[in-house]
Amino acid sequence: MLTLRFSIQRYLPEQDRIPRMQLYELALAQMPRDWMLLDALEHLRQQDPTLAFRSSCKEGVCGSDGMNVNGKNRLSCITRLSTVWDEVKDKDGIIKIHPLPGLPIIRDLVVDMNQFFQHYAAVQPWLIPPAGDRDHELLQTPTQRAELEGLYECILCACCTTSCPAFWWNPDKFHGPAALLAAQRFVSDSRDQHTQTRLQALDDAYGTFRCRNIQNCTANCPKGLDPSGAIRALKRKMLTE
Amino acid sequence: MEFETYHFDAVIVGSGGAGLRAALMLSEKGIRTAVVSKVFPTRSHTVAAQGGINAALGNILPDNWLWHMYDTIKGSDYLGDQDAIEYMCREAPDVVRELEHFGVPFSRTESGKIYQRPFGGQSLNFGQRQAARTCAAADRTGHAILHSLYQQNLRAQTTFFVEHQAIDLIRDERGDIAALMVLDIATGEYKVLRSRAIMLATGGAAQLFRTNTNARINTGDGLAMILRAGLALQDMEFWQFHPTGLSGKGILISEAARGEGGVLRNAAGEAFMKHYAPHARELASRDVVARAIAIEVQEGRGCGVNQDHVWLDLTHLDSALIKQRLPAIREIALTFAGIDICQEPIPVYPTAHYMMGGIPTNIHGQVKTLNDQGEVEVLPNLFAVGECACVSVHGANRLGGNSLLDIVVFGRAAARQLIEQLSHQPLDYFDAPLDLQPVERRIQRWQACDASSSDGTPASLRQRLQTIMETGCGVFRTEDTLNKCIDDLTEFSAQVDKLMLQDRSEVFNLERLEAFELENLLALAWATVHSARSRQESRGAHYRLDYSSRDDDNWLKHTLYFQSQPVNTPRLAYVPVTLQPLTVPSFPPKKRVY
């Protein structure tokens, strides 16, 4: 018999003045090999339907269920339960779950992501193709297309941006790694016609250059992307072009 | 009850590919448009589509939209409407090029064109060689399309009601559908959105089954709203079971894995598809492959300790190709099964994936129903697009790569029609008072809380419902399983009637949200089981062990289901399949062999 213990941050605005930690227990015959953390959280919700967290696709592609687990930002649906248990079982034996840091809390593990999405929109993350001919494909060689690898796959889960100290300090001004990764995605697209305008708009002491190369973003990206590298490449392009 | 009221020219419910494609066109034309979504737009389930989008671009092999049309009709087991299928296949190259201009990062050929891969059920020259018609962005095509459409909507400044759950359609005193009730999930506030036109784009509902590829949000909210509004759902007996779900989990392993050369093997290591589809083999249509896998397992040739799956083997493929073309599949197998697909085969089994049926519409996305005389009638100002709609381009079985196509083609077509209609409509349309009583009753039902009297939670009841449906309405059906399913649902409905909620908060009350979703799923469960029990034949994805062949004499027709009271005595009607295309000769039904 295995009893897993979870300490989960709770906050119900109608009754809590400040967030509190609540202890949950889950009794299992043994560690289920194929369980993700999300499977465990769903069982806890059956014990306590008032525990609120976002989730949807269950396979790490919709980006809903970012949360801070044992001090690291992760997606609960692609994080193995055994992994987070192994991290604590020889210490205090409690898996600790908090909302993503640095954003206002709405309830329990649900954070207000408006600011995050505003920064995304601020970098104008849309392709501006050449005007005119809509009847033919815009050609792009495999080498040009390869420039987008590691950039277009972002799922906007905010694990990177909410792990970034520069974002914690200047959340209103610094775009943060997810938005800058998107910026670099369009700067790198051979089909886009506004590269220079984009680079000029991003050349800003706060928006881009608050990035101090701390690299928490890359360490916390659940999709294995490298926002830090993308930001370095973006800065380099600003200097050279 | 008092509600804050908002006014729009168009309200779109759902922010997947269909809703966002329509919204983009409306916003660009200056129509006051609101998109309502229960999740942030890029969380919509289009994001999980993997393999690609079909269009006869001919970038790899010569191609023709007429061949695409033929394949789609054959794939539909002749239940698809040929006018709609012609329209979709002709529009396909144009919508794909348009997506490319919107920024979709398609994979590329050496000459810089959009990469296309072979997919199931597609052929050159009316059933001869395998075609390569599926335009792909690696195996993340849905993600690439959804993000690009959201990005273009940001540019066009579309208004979004994010994390708002649609509750019900509201009629005005004249009986016209004139507004939508929504719940702001973050505050618990209910709002009325009045609109000159409403478009449902709420996606699928495979959450109805225990093992499925769908997101938790895929609960068929728009379809249940249609039923409660007294309108019809079409062909709800046709659910696609995708052949290759990750065994035990149901997670989608894209058809791209077979398109790129993957082979299905049983416990003896035999590539068994040659017995079921001698020519197309792994790339036969999905209903054929799903049944083949189920039969292999039933007859004792399944793999693993429990002999409950087959192997999808890619180990003979070049690992560089796998990493380039199937990176997300590799990641999924590694994460969920601890398997490197370059080295080991993937354990797979069929999993509920897609709803061919839905809200009946014409090719302009306008919702159809039957009037009191039993004649087909188009509703003014109510549209449905995407998986929630049944145009019907997929008939009894959808081809892989036709779903992403369906959503952008008909999202665009419906937006065009809506713009055209609004230009003729008088502007005083907002004025008639609304009949709010029915929706208020539904809201009141889930405001009450009393933990002590309840047996189960919405989440545990959903699981129970999924098990009932998987047992009764799965890959194989009989009169007996369907009757049992009706008995189980009757008992289950009583349990839902007694359900009481425990969460008293107005802020992000997910238990209440799940209760609304559970009601929606239950309404669709009834639609499915009644439609399936009545159809005494096997066609496409609807396979009856007790009526194992297709019966064109009696059943070449669409089912229409209406909800009635009590729900276990349904009202069913039938309408003919449109066999006449728009401009080309008909493809008459013939025996379907792959």
User: What are A214-238's pLDDT values in tens digits?
Assistant: 999 999 999 999 999 999 999 999 9
B506 contact residues in A (CB cutoff 8 A): 14
Provide the phi-psi class of A142: left if phi over 0, else alpha when psi is between -120 and 50, else beta. Answer: alpha
Q: How far A207 CA sits from the closest chain B CA (Å)?
A: 19
Does B216 score more than 80 pLDDT? Answer: yes
Q: What is the pLDDT of residues B435-477, one digit of tens each?
A: 999 999 999 999 877 766 667 899 999 999 999 999 999 999 9
- Confidence category of residue B565, pLDDT binned at 50, 70, 90: confident
Instruction: Please name the residue that has the structure tokens 């791209």.
Output: B256
What is the torsion angle, in degrees rounded to the nearest 10, for the CA atoms of residue A98, residue A100, residue A104 and residue A108? -40
Which candidate, B364, B336, B362, B366, places its Cα nearest to that of B348? B336
**Window 410-449 of B, Cβ < 8 Å to A:** none
Kindly determine whether residue A139 and residue B511, on different chains, have CB atoms separated by under 8 Å.
no
B459 and A142 within 8 Å at the Cβ level: the answer is no
CB B586 within 8 A of CB B579: yes
Considering only CB atoms, A59 lies closest to which of B111, B332, B337, namely B332
Contact B383, B18 (CB under 8 A): no
Contacts with B, A 148-177, CB within 8 Å: 148, 152-153, 155-156
A131 at B interface, C-beta within 8 A: no
Residues near B441 by beta carbon (within 8 Å), at least 6 away in sequence:
none
The reply to whether residue B97 touches residue A137, judged by beta carbons under 8 angstroms, is: yes
Domains in chain A: boundaries: 2-110, 113-240
| Closest C-alpha among A97, A79, A10 to residue A38 | A79
**Residues present in chain B in total:** 594
Q: How far is the alpha carbon of B188 from chain A, nearest alpha carbon, in Å?
A: 12
Chain A positions in Cβ-Cβ contact with residue B143 (cut-off 8 Å): 61, 153, 155
Contacts of A47 in chain B (CB under 8 A): none
Pick from A61, A113, A135: CB nearest B143: A61
Give SS3 for B75.
helix
Q: CA triplet B352, B357, B362: central angle to 5 degrees?
A: 150
Task: For residues B366 and B382, give the distance between their C-alpha atoms in angstroms, rounded to a whole number.
Answer: 6
The end-to-end CA distance of chain B, in Å, is 58
Q: Name every chain A residue with its beta carbon within 8 A of the beta carbon of B107.
A: 142, 145
- Chain B touched by A143 (CB under 8 Å): no
* Gap from A49 CA to chain B (nearest CA, Å): 6
Sort out which chain B residues have CB atoms less than 8 A from A129's CB and list them.
101, 103
Classify strands B310-313 and B346-355 as parallel, antiparallel or unpaired. Answer: antiparallel
Q: Could you tell me the two tokens for B120? A: 């199931």
What's the pLDDT at B453?
Answer: 64
pLDDT band at B1 (very low <50, low <70, confident <90, very high): confident
Is a pLDDT exceeding 80 seen at residue B563? yes
Buried b (16+ CB within 10 A) or exposed e, A137-146: bbebeeeebe
The DSSP letter of residue B280 is T
Report strand pairing: A110-111 vs A105-107: antiparallel
For the range B563-567, what are the long-range contacts, defined as Cβ-Cβ under 8 Å and sequence gap of 24 or more? B563/B227, B563/B228, B563/B230, B563/B523, B563/B526, B563/B527, B567/B493, B567/B523, B567/B526
Nearest CA in chain B to A185: B105
Residue A181 contacts residue A116 (beta carbons within 8 Å): no
Distance from the Cα of B470 to chain A's closest Cα (Å) equals: 20
Which residue has tokens 């200056």?
B30
Q: Do B40 and A45 touch (CB under 8 A)?
A: no
8 A C-beta contact, residue B147 and residue B54: no
Is B48–A55 a contact, with Cβ atoms under 8 angstroms apart?
Answer: no
> Domains in chain B, please, with CATH?
4-50+80-110+138-239+355-424 (3.50.50.60), 244-351 (3.90.700.10), 437-548 (1.20.58.100)
Write out the two tokens for B467: 């098990």
Residue with the two structure tokens 């149901």: B250
Q: May I ask the CATH architecture of the domain A113-240?
A: Orthogonal Bundle (1.10)
Substitution target from B37, B38, B40 for chain A, most A beta carbons within 10 A:
B40
Closest to A210 measured CA to CA, from A172, A160, A159? A172
B286 among known catalytic residues: yes
Least Cα distance to B459 among A39, A28, A53, A45 occurs for A45
pLDDT in tens, A100-145: 999 999 999 999 999 999 999 999 999 999 988 888 999 999 999 9
Residue length of chain A: 241
pLDDT at B15 over 70: yes
Q: Is the CB of B507 less than 8 angstroms away from the CB of A46?
A: no
Mean pLDDT, rounded, of chain B: 96
Name the β-bridge partners of A4. A26
Interface of A with B in 193-222 (CB under 8 A): none
The β-bridge relationship of strands B4-13 and B189-200 is: parallel
Instruction: Indicate which of B336, B446, B450 best probes the interface with A, i.e. most A CBs within 10 Å of its own CB.
Output: B336
Task: Give pLDDT, residue B451.
Answer: 64
B274 within 8 A of B283, measured Cβ to Cβ: no
Helix, strand or coil, per DSSP, at residue B53:
strand
Q: What angle do CA B577, B581, B583 make, to 5 degrees?
A: 165
Q: Which residue has 């339960």 as its token pair?
A: A81
Answer yes or no: do A64 and B503 touch at CB < 8 A: no
B 209-268 residues inside an 8 A Cβ radius of A: 215-217, 248-249, 251-252
DSSP B360-385: EB-TT-EEEEE-TTS-EEEEEEEEE-
Q: Is residue B345 a contact partner of residue B265, using CB atoms and an 8 Å limit? A: yes
> Which CATH number applies to A2-110?
3.10.20.30
- Phi, psi (deg, nearest 5) at residue B118: -70, 145
C-alpha distance from B107 to closest chain A C-alpha (Å):
7
Residues 6+ away with beta carbon under 8 Å from A153:
A223, A225, B140, B143
pLDDT of residue B380: 83
Share of chain B above pLDDT 90, in %: 94
Q: Rounded to the nearest 10 degrees, what angle do helices B82-102 and B402-422 cross at?
A: 90
Contact B459 A45 (CB under 8 A): yes
List CB contacts (< 8 A) between B101 and chain A.
127, 129, 134, 138
Beta-carbon contacts of B177 under 8 Å, excluding residues fewer than 6 positions away, are B169, B170, B171, B198, B229, B379, B381, B382
Q: Which residues of chain A have pLDDT under 50?
A: none
pLDDT at B430 over 80: no
List CB contacts (< 8 A) between A14 and chain B. 505-507
Q: In terms of Cα–Cα distance, which of B452, B313, B401 is closest to B117?
A: B401
pTM over 0.90: yes
Catalytic residue among B194, B196, B281, B286: B286
Residue holding tokens 């082979």? B263
Out of B48, B100, B109, the one facing A59 most closely (by C-beta) is B48
Closest by CA position to A67, among listed A166, A163, A159, A161? A159
Mutation target to probe the B interface, by most B beta carbons within 10 A, among A153, A188, A191, A221 is A153
* Percent of chain B predicted with pLDDT > 70: 99
Average pLDDT estimate for B279-286: 95
For B351-360, how does the pLDDT look when each residue is reduced to its tens digit (9 = 90+)?
Answer: 999 999 999 9
Least CB-CB distance to A34: which of B144, B336, B459? Answer: B336
Of A133 and B152, the one with more pLDDT: B152
Specify the pLDDT at position B431. Answer: 75
In angstroms, the separation between the Cα of residue B99 and the nearest Cα of chain A is 10
The Cα B373–Cα B310 span in angstroms is 51
Nearest to B103 among A14, A112, A126 (CB): A126
* B250-284: b (≥16 Cβ within 10 Å) or e: bbbbbbbbbbbbbbbbbbeeeebbeebbeebbbbb
The pair of three-digit structure tokens given for residue B594, joined into one six-digit string: 């792959």
- Tell me the two tokens of residue A235: 């800065």
Query: 3-state SS of chain A?
Result: CEEEEEEEEECCCCCCCCCEEEEEEEEECCCCCCCEHHHHHHHHHHHCCCCCCCCCCCCCCCCCCEEEECCEEEEHHHCEHHHHHHHHCCCCCEEEEECCCCCCEEECCEECCHHHHHHHHHCCCCCCCCCCCCCCCCCCCHHHHHCCCCCCCCCCCCCCHHHCHHHHHCCCCCCCHHHHHHHHHHHCCCCCCCHHHHHHHHCCCCCCCCCCCCCHHHHHCCCCCCHHHHHHHHHHHHHHC
Contact B287, B541 (CB under 8 A): yes
Reported as a single tens digit per residue, the pLDDT across B97-147 is 999 999 999 999 999 999 999 999 999 999 999 999 999 999 999 999 999
Q: How far apart are CA B323 and CA B67, in angstroms?
A: 31
Q: Which of A181, A159, A192 is nearest to A227 (CA)?
A: A181
Which residues in chain B (171-200) have CB-CB distances under 8 A to chain A? Answer: 186
Distance, in Å, from the CA atom of B410 to the CA atom of B405, rounded to the nearest integer, reads 8
Cβ within 8 Å, pair A125-B249: no
Interface A-B, measured as beta-carbon pairs within 8 A, has a size of 153
Query: In 3-state terms, what secondary structure has residue B428?
Result: helix
Cβ-Cβ contacts under 8 Å, B242 against chain A = none
Q: Do A139 and B111 touch (CB under 8 A)?
A: yes
